[in-house]
Structure 1
Amino acid sequence: MVPNSMNVHPELLAASAALAASQSQRVSAAHSAASQRVDAALPGWVGNSRAALTAAAQRWADLSTGLNLRIYQHSEALRVTGLTFAAADAEHAGSLTPVTPREAR
């Protein structure tokens, strides 16, 4: 076994990217629904309680947005890495074609 070797499967990176993107969409939808429920409940709250709930809801929304952005960025990194590796692999394979014996082609 070659030390420091790496096995990359672009199709697995693509599948992981799609899964992470799907998860990002589900998280966004769930947090949006929760935000709508909080907004719908606000008229029933008054005074300091309403202000506290409003402030908490804003903190939750900000946190949710940040976390969801990280999930999305991760999915994009997986997707781009898979595409970049596949392109580099194709380029390197093409540069090796001239040195491949004819019977092996």
Structure 2
Amino acid sequence: MKVQIVSKTGAGSTSPIVVNTNTSPCNIGFGVVVDGTVDYTVQHTFDDPATGFTTWFSHPTIAGQSTNKDGNYAFPVTGIRLTVNSGGGTATLNLVQAGIA
């Protein structure tokens, strides 16, 4: 997978990045870069993001953050999004999944 990038300015969530669940192992690395003042959380789902009816779970260590952070998913999920909880700055999520060209 090429690096996928989503950004959010102000409160709200990005559209989900759909994960290819046909790879094994499903390893995903990501980093969030902050510009300005924001409080953000990286979230994932096990539901089909295309349906719009999804339950989102916060990443165990990248929740309520306000500085540049990186993390990973070592287990399969179906979608990942970035949620800006508060602030007027911009948060940018860069995500890459192993095994996808």
* Structure whose residues are more often helix by fraction: 1
TM-score, with length taken from structure 1: 0.22
TM-score, with length taken from structure 2: 0.22
Find the structure with the greater CA-based Rg. 1
* Structure whose residues are more often strand by fraction: 2
